[in-house]
Amino acid sequence: MPSVSDWKIPSAAQPKPGDYGYDLDHALSAVVGLRAIIPSDAFTADTLGTERAGHGVFIRDNGLVLTIGYLITEAETIWLTLSDGRSVPGHALGYDQETGFGLVQALAKIDVPALEIGRSSAASVGERVVVGGAGGRARSVAARIVAKQEFAGYWEYVLDEAIFTAPAHPNWGGTALIGPQGHLLGIGSLQLQHAVDKDQPQNINMIVPIDLLEPVFDDLLKTGRRSGPPRPWLGLYATEVENRLVVVGLADRGPAKKADIRNGDIVLSVAGNEVSDLAGFFRRIWAQGQAGVQVPLTIYRDGTTMDVRVKSSERNRFLKGPSLH
Measured distance CA(267)–CA(297) in Å, rounded: 7
Q: What is the pLDDT of residue 323?
A: 59
pLDDT band at 193 (very low <50, low <70, confident <90, very high): confident
pLDDT band at 200 (very low <50, low <70, confident <90, very high): confident
Based on the domain organization, do 88 and 126 belong to the same domain? yes
Based on the domain organization, do 160 and 308 belong to the same domain? no
Q: Give the residue-averaged pLDDT of 98-107.
A: 98
Percent of the chain at pLDDT > 70 equals: 95
pLDDT band at 321 (very low <50, low <70, confident <90, very high): confident
Helix (H) or strand (E) holding 241: strand 236-241
Based on the domain organization, do 50 and 137 belong to the same domain? yes
Of 181, 202, 228, the last residue of a domain is 228
Of 210, 228, 246, the last residue of a domain is 228
**If you write DSSP's letter for every residue of 259-283 in order, what string do you get?**
TT--TT-EEEEETTEE--SHHHHHH
Q: Give the residue-averaged pLDDT of 55-81.
A: 97
For residue 325, being part of any structural domain is answered with no
Q: How many domains does the chain have?
A: 2
* In contact, 221 and 214? CB cutoff 8 Å: no
* In contact, 255 and 313? CB cutoff 8 Å: yes
**If you write DSSP's letter for every residue of 112-172 in order, what string do you get?**
-PPPPB--GGG--TT-EEEEE-TTGGGG-EEEEEEEEEEEEETTTEEEEEEEEEESPPSS-
Q: What is the pLDDT of residue 3?
A: 44
Based on the domain organization, do 77 and 120 belong to the same domain? yes
Measured distance CA(137)–CA(70) in Å, rounded: 25
Q: Is the pLDDT of residue 187 over 50?
A: yes
Burial track 68-88 (b if 16+ CB lie within 10 A, e otherwise): bbbbbbbbbbbebbbbeeeeb
Q: Give the residue-averaged pLDDT of 35-58.
A: 96
Average pLDDT along the chain: 94
Q: What is the pLDDT of residue 309?
A: 98
How is residue 295 annotated by DSSP? E
Based on the domain organization, do 224 and 240 belong to the same domain? no
Q: Is the pLDDT of residue 155 over 70?
A: yes
Q: What is the pLDDT of residue 6?
A: 61
Based on the domain organization, do 251 and 218 belong to the same domain? no
Q: Give the residue-averaged pLDDT of 299-319.
A: 97
Q: What is the pLDDT of residue 96?
A: 97
* CATH number assigned to the domain comprising residue 307: 2.30.42.10
pLDDT band at 5 (very low <50, low <70, confident <90, very high): low
Residue 263 exposed, middle or buried by CB count within 10 Å (0-12, 13-18, 19+): exposed
Q: Give the residue-averaged pLDDT of 127-151.
A: 97
Q: What is the pLDDT of residue 7?
A: 75
Based on the domain organization, do 208 and 270 belong to the same domain? no
For residue 323, being part of any structural domain is answered with no
Q: Is the pLDDT of residue 222 over 50?
A: yes
For residue 35, being part of any structural domain is answered with yes
Based on the domain organization, do 179 and 294 belong to the same domain? no
Bridge partners (DSSP) listed for residue 294: 311
- The secondary structure of the chain in percent helix, strand, coil, rounded to multiples of 5, reads 15, 40, 45
Based on the domain organization, do 80 and 108 belong to the same domain? yes
Q: Is the pLDDT of residue 88 over 80?
A: yes
For residue 142, being part of any structural domain is answered with yes
Of 183, 202, 228, the last residue of a domain is 228
Neighbouring CB atoms inside 10 A of 115's CB total 23
Measured distance CA(181)–CA(115) in Å, rounded: 11
How is residue 322 annotated by DSSP? P
Based on the domain organization, do 36 and 70 belong to the same domain? yes
* CATH number assigned to the domain comprising residue 18: 2.40.10.120
pLDDT in tens, 238-255: 999 998 999 999 999 999
Based on the domain organization, do 188 and 165 belong to the same domain? yes
Q: Give the residue-averaged pLDDT of 282-299.
A: 98
The parent domain of residue 102 ranges over 1-228
Based on the domain organization, do 52 and 83 belong to the same domain? yes
